[in-house]
Structure 1
Amino acid sequence: MNKAILASFFMTLSLLTTNAQDIPHLKKTNNVTQLIVNNQPYLMIAGEVHNSSASTIEYMKPLFPKLKAMNLNSVFVTLAWEQFEPNEGVFDYTLVDAIIDNAKENNLKVCLLWFASWKNGESSYTPMWVKKDIKRFFRVKTKEGMEIETMSPFCEATKIADAKAFAALMKHIKEVDTEQTVILMQPQNEVGMFQDIDYNNVALDLFEKNVPTELMTYLKINRKHLNTYVSEAWSKYNFKTSGTWKEIFGDTPEAKAFFTTWQYATYINFVAKSGREQYNLPMMVNAWIVQKPEDLPGVYPNGGPVSRVMDIWKAAAPDVDIQSPDIYLENFKEIVAMYHREDNPLLIPESKAEVGRAFYAFGEHNAICFSPFGIEDAADNFVFTQSYELLNEVQHLIKKYQGTGKMRAVLQEADETYKDIYLGDYKIKVMYEKPNEPSFGIIIQTDTDEFIVIGMNMSIYFDSEVKNTIGYIGQVFEGKYENEKWVTTRMMNGDETYHNSRLRVFGRTFETSEDLVKNQKKEGEPDAYSPATKQKIVTPGIYKVITYKR
C-alpha cells in the first residue's frame, strides 16, 4: 500500500477513535464510575425544571439565567414526543435547538428527558397521531378487559415509532451540539403500570412462555449477588434454570412483576440503542420508587427500575447505563445505598431540595449527579444557592478523592445525634448540632494528619486508632478555595474550638438587612408593621484541620 495512503488511513482511524472518546461518556477508575465531559470528570450540580418549563421558547428563555444564578452547572430538561413529532415522520427541532442554545448561553450542561411512550406510568406525552390510533398503538388492558390510556409495553408499533423519533433526535443533537452541551439522555420517565400485569392477549400469551435465555443466564452468573427480592422469589422454586415464568417464580405477584419489568426494560433498551447508534451518549432511567416495603407491584408503577428489580433491568437493558431513584421519602441514606452498586453508579435526577442530600451523595456514594425537581422553585432559597456555590468551589476535591477511600460524608436524619467514621489512623466522631437545622458535611483526608471538612452545624472529634497513642487537633483554619487553591480566612482556637478539643463546624454566616413586613389584621385594630431587622443566615463552610498523635 502507498505510504501516503497508509498514513492517511491511520490518521483517519485516530481521529475517529479520538472523537468517540471526546464525546461525554462514563469511565470507571479507582473503583468509581465518573461522567467524563470534554475529557475531564464532571459532577452534575444540577436541578430538574418543571415538566412544562421548556414547552415554549418564550417560557424557557428567562428561566436559564435564573438557573445559572442559582449556581447550577447542569439542568434536566423535558422534550416531549408530541412536540418533537407532531405528525408522523415530521420532526420539529425548534425546542431542542432552543434548549441547547439557552443552556450554552448560560454555561449549563443538559440532561435531556425524553417524555415519549410514558411519563409517571402514564402516556400523556405521546403525539395525537399515536393517541388516536388505538388499533395500531394498543393500550394496557385491565383485568376487567378495559383498555386504559397507558401505552402497552407489548406493542411493537409504539416501540418502533418511539425509537425512530428518538434516533432522529439523537442524530440531530450530534449534528448541532458541537460544544457538548447535552451530556446525558433519559429515554422515558418513571415508567410502569398501576396494575399487576397487562391483561391484553399478547402479554398473557407471552407470560405462558419460557423465561428468556438472556435473563436466566444473568441470574445464574450473578446468583450470589442478586437483590434479595429477586433471589428469594427464585429460591422458593429451587433456583430452577429453565421453564415458564410461573415454573421459575410461581404464579405470584413477583413473577408478574419480573415479566412486566422485562418487557418495559427491553422496550426502553430498544429505544436507547436506536438513539446510541446515532450518537452514543450515556443513558439513564429513573424510578418512581417503592413507597412502603409492603407495597405490591402496581401500587407503585410496576415495571420501572425500582431497587427490587434492578437485576432484571441489568439483564434486559445493556444499553442503559444507570438506574436512578427519584427520592422524596425521608430515608434518603437507605435509598441511595440500594442504588449505589458496583455495576450502577449513583445518579439522583429528582429529590427534595434539601441540599445536605447533595453533599452526602457526592461525598459518601461518589455520585455523578444530584438534582432536585422543580428547581426553579428554590431560586429564593439562600441556603440552597450558597450551598451549590460551595459545591462548585470544592468539586475539584470531590472528583479527586472519589473512589480513594479517603472521603466520607455525614447527614443527620430523623433523631440521629452522631456518626462515627474512620479515615486513616483516626476515628472521627461527628456530633450533629442544632437538631432543628440542617446538619451535614464531607470529610476528606488530604494527608496523614490533615483533613478538609465541608459542611455546617457539626462538632467533630479526632481520636487516634494507633495503639498507645492519643489523637489531638493541632490547628484549625477556616477558609475557601480560589481557583482550586486554599486560602485561609481565619485561624480558629480558644472559644472557637474549645482550645482545639474539637472542630466546631459553624458554617459561613451571612448577615442581611431586610424589611420584614407583617400585616397584623385584627378586628377593631389598625394595620401594624414590624420594623427593619437584621437576620443571620448560616450556610456550609470549609475548614482545614491539622492533627497529631502522641
Structure 2
Amino acid sequence: MTENPVPAARPWSIGDGAGLRRDGVPALLVGGQVFNSSSSSPRAIGQSFAHVRRMNGNVVLAPVSWALTEPVEGAFDFALVDRMIEEARHNELRLVLLWFGAYKNAASTYAPRWVRADTERFPRAVVESVGRPPFSYAGETAKPVLSVFGRELRESDAAAFEALVRHLVQADPGGVVAMLQVENESGLLGDSRDRSADAAAAWAGPVPAQVIARLPDAPDGASSARTLWEARGSRTSGSWAEVFGESSAADEVFMAWAFADYVEHIARRGRAIADIPMFANAWLGPQPGQDEPGQYPSGGPASRVLDVWRGAAPSLSLLGPDIYVEHADAVMRDYAAGGHPFFVPESRLSAGELVRAVGTYRAFGWSGFGVDGANPDGQVAATLAFLAALEGQIAEAQLSGRIGAAVVETGVEVVRLHLGGIHVDARGTLALLQTMLLDAGVSVPVPGMTVPDETLPDAPVQHRGDTRPFGLVFAVAEDTVIVIGRELTLDFFADDARIEIDAVEELLVEDGEVTVARVLNGDERLRIVPTERVGAARIRLVRV
C-alpha cells in the first residue's frame, strides 16, 4: 500500500481559458453565500439553503468552522458538513464549502479553543498599531489573531483540512461539492507586518529564490513586489529589507508570501487527497478609507500582491475578490486580468454587477453575500433564474467570446458590445425615449425608476435595487442573441452587412426551464426587455 495514492477524481475542474466544467461540460455557479452562522446548526442549514433555492440560485456557499469540526484535537465531527450536502442535494444546489480555519476576516475566531488557549504552541501575531482596524471600536473585547509563522498552527490547520477532504471523498462521491475555499479573507489587520519573534526571524532571513525568480515576469505597474525590487536594484538575493526595502508596501509583500505559503501548504495537502478545485478570497485593498496595508488585511490576496500569491500558491485554481465597493468594474478587471479563471465569492447584491461579472469578465460564478436575507422578488433573484436556466448556453458563449454585458452608468449614452461579428449598441430605454421626444419637440421628464429592494426588511444590512439599465447579451447562434436585463434598448450592426431584427421571443422561466411567453412585434419591440422588472428575450437577426 502506498502512502501517497493518486488523488480521488472529482467531476469538477477549472482550467486556464476553459472555465469551470462538470464532467467536461462547461458550467456556471450562480447563487449566494449564506451568513457566517447559517451553517452552524441543522436547523439553520435547512432554512438558509431553502432560501437560496427560492432566490433561484444553482449554488450555495457555506462556512465549515474548524472550531465546530474539531472541538477536541484529533476528534472530528462532520455532521454539519453531511447536513449541508444533504440539504444542497435536496434543494438541487451545488455546494461550495468555505474552510474557516485559522483565519476568517484576518482574525482567528474560528480556530478551536484548544488552539487559541495554547499561546506557547500556537503563538499570536504581534502588531504595532497603525490605527483602529475597520469594523472595530474603542474598548471592544480583544480578538485572537494567530501568527501565520507558527509551524504547529499550519500543521494542525492542514490536518483538519485533510480530514475534511478525506470525508468528502466518502460522503460526496457524486460531487455536490464543487469547490473549496481555503481560509477566509486572510491577512493581518492593525499593522503592515507581524512583529512576533518567528516573523522577525523570517523578515531577517533570505527571500526565497522562487519569489525573486518570478519578479521579472510580474505584471509591470500592477506588481508592488516588482516595483520595489527594481527600485532596490533588482537584487538576486538578500533579506526582505535588502531586496524590497523597508516600507509598509515591502511589509505587505513579505506578509503576502507568508500567508500564500501557509494557504498553499493546506491546499496542497487537500489536493493530494482529492482533485477538487480550491481558491482563496480577498478583502480588497487599497480601497476608500483603507489606504495602507494593515487598514485592510496586509498579506491577503489584494490587488498589488496577486503575483506573489499566484507564485506561492499554485495549488489554488484562482483568487477571488469579495466586492463591496461601489466601483466594481476596476476590481473585476484586476482579478480577471491575464486570462485567469474568474469567480466572485462575495458581492453586494447588485444585478448590474452580476451581469458585468458574467458578461464582461467571463466569470464562471458569482455569489451574493447574505443571500439568506435577500429578497426573492428582487432583481438579483430574477436575473439568477435566467442565468441558471440558460447556464449551458452562457458558458459556451463565454468560451467562444460571444458575450458581453452593458451597465449604463449615469451620464453614459451608449455602451458598445462585440459578439463575434455582431456589434451591439445598448442604451437606457427611458433616457432614449426622452431624447426621441425632445427631438420631436415634446418635453417629458424621465420618471424616477422604482425597483424592489434586494434585501428583506429584517436583513442586517439593507441593499437597494440597482436602478441602472443593465443587461447580459450573448450569441447562441450566428445571428441569434439572447438578452437578460432591464430597461435596455439594443441596436445591431455588422461590418459586412446591414442587420435587421427578424423575430423576437419574450422568454420566461417556469420550473427551471425557459419557455416562450410571446412573440414580440409592433409597439412591443420598443421595449424588448421590460423597463420595470428583469426580463429576457431571444432575438433573431437577418442580414440584408
TM range (shorter): 0.7 to 0.9
Flag the 1:354–1:68 CA change in 2: closer, same or farther, 3 A: same
Confirm or deny that 1:96 pairs with 2:84. Answer: no
CA contact (8 A) 1:464 1:471 kept: yes
Flag the 1:189–1:223 CA change in 2: closer, same or farther, 3 A: closer
User: For 2:207, what is the secondary structure of its paired residue?
Assistant: coil
Aligned partner of 2:324 in structure 1 is 328
Confirm or deny that 1:459 pairs with 2:489. Answer: yes
Q: How far has the Cα of 1:218 moved from its partner?
A: 1.7
RMSD, matched Cα: 2.6
CA contact (8 A) 2:32 2:371 kept: yes
Q: Which amino acid aligns with 1:476?
A: V
Confirm or deny that 1:121 pairs with 2:121. Answer: no
Task: Please list the CA deviations of residues 509-528 of structure 1 after superposition, one character each: whole Å capped at 9, or x if unmatched.
Answer: 8xxxxxxxxxxxxxxxxxxx
2:42 to 43, 57, 78: 57
Q: How far has the Cα of 1:486 moved from its partner?
A: 7.8
Aligned partner of 1:188 in structure 2 is 183
Flag the 1:483–1:128 CA change in 2: closer, same or farther, 3 A: closer
User: For 2:360, what is the secondary structure of its paired residue?
Assistant: helix
1:410 to 406, 410, 413: 406
Q: How far has the Cα of 1:479 moved from its partner?
A: 3.4
- Mean CA deviation greater in 365-374 or 337-346: 337-346
CA contact (8 A) 2:221 2:227 kept: no
Aligned partner of 1:388 in structure 2 is 384
Q: 2:211, 2:339 → 1: CA distance?
A: 16
2:528 to 505, 524, 535: 505
Confirm or deny that 1:439 pairs with 2:469. Answer: yes
Aligned partner of 1:239 in structure 2 is 234
CA contact (8 A) 2:403 2:418 kept: no
Q: 2:478, 2:403 → 1: CA distance?
A: 13
If each structure's strand is expressed as a fraction of its own residues, which one has the higher value?
A: 1
Aligned runs of 1:131-150 on 2, under 5 Å? 131-143=116-128, 149-150=144-145
Q: 1:486, 1:126 → 2: CA distance?
A: 45
Q: Which amino acid aligns with 1:23?
A: P
**TM-score under structure 1 length normalisation:** 0.84
Aligned partner of 2:169 in structure 1 is 174
Q: 1:130, 1:489 → 2: CA distance?
A: 58
- Mean CA deviation greater in 89-98 or 416-425: 416-425
Task: Please list the CA deviations of residues 496-519 of structure 1 after superposition, one character each: whole Å capped at 9, or x if unmatched.
Answer: 336xxxxx4333x8xxxxxxxxxx
User: For 2:369, what is the secondary structure of its paired residue?
Assistant: coil
Confirm or deny that 1:371 pairs with 2:371. Answer: no
**TM-score under structure 2 length normalisation:** 0.84
Aligned runs of 1:192-271 on 2, under 5 Å? 192-194=187-189, 195-220=191-216, 222-223=217-218, 227-271=222-266
What's the % identity of the aligned pairs?
A: 30
1:69 to 28, 47, 54: 54
Flag the 1:224–1:168 CA change in 2: closer, same or farther, 3 A: closer
- Mean CA deviation greater in 92-101 or 288-297: 288-297
Task: Please list the CA deviations of residues 25-69 of structure 1 after superposition, one character each: whole Å capped at 9, or x if unmatched.
Answer: 2134xxx23222244322101210000011111222233222222
Q: How far has the Cα of 1:253 moved from its partner?
A: 1.6
Size of the alignment, in residue pairs?
493
Q: 2:168, 2:480 → 1: CA distance?
A: 45
Aligned partner of 1:45 in structure 2 is 30
Q: How far has the Cα of 1:442 moved from its partner?
A: 1.9
Bigger Rg, which one:
1
- Mean CA deviation greater in 300-309 or 38-47: 38-47
Aligned partner of 1:108 in structure 2 is 93
Aligned partner of 1:155 in structure 2 is 150
Aligned partner of 1:287 in structure 2 is 282
- Structure 1 residue runs of 5 or longer lacking an equivalent are 1-15, 499-503, 510-536
2:15 to 27, 38, 47: 27
Task: Please list the CA deviations of residues 182-240 of structure 1 after superposition, one character each: whole Å capped at 9, or x if unmatched.
Answer: 111011100111111111122112212221111112223x2456724333223222333
Flag the 1:489–1:122 CA change in 2: closer, same or farther, 3 A: same
1:492 to 520, 523, 526: 520
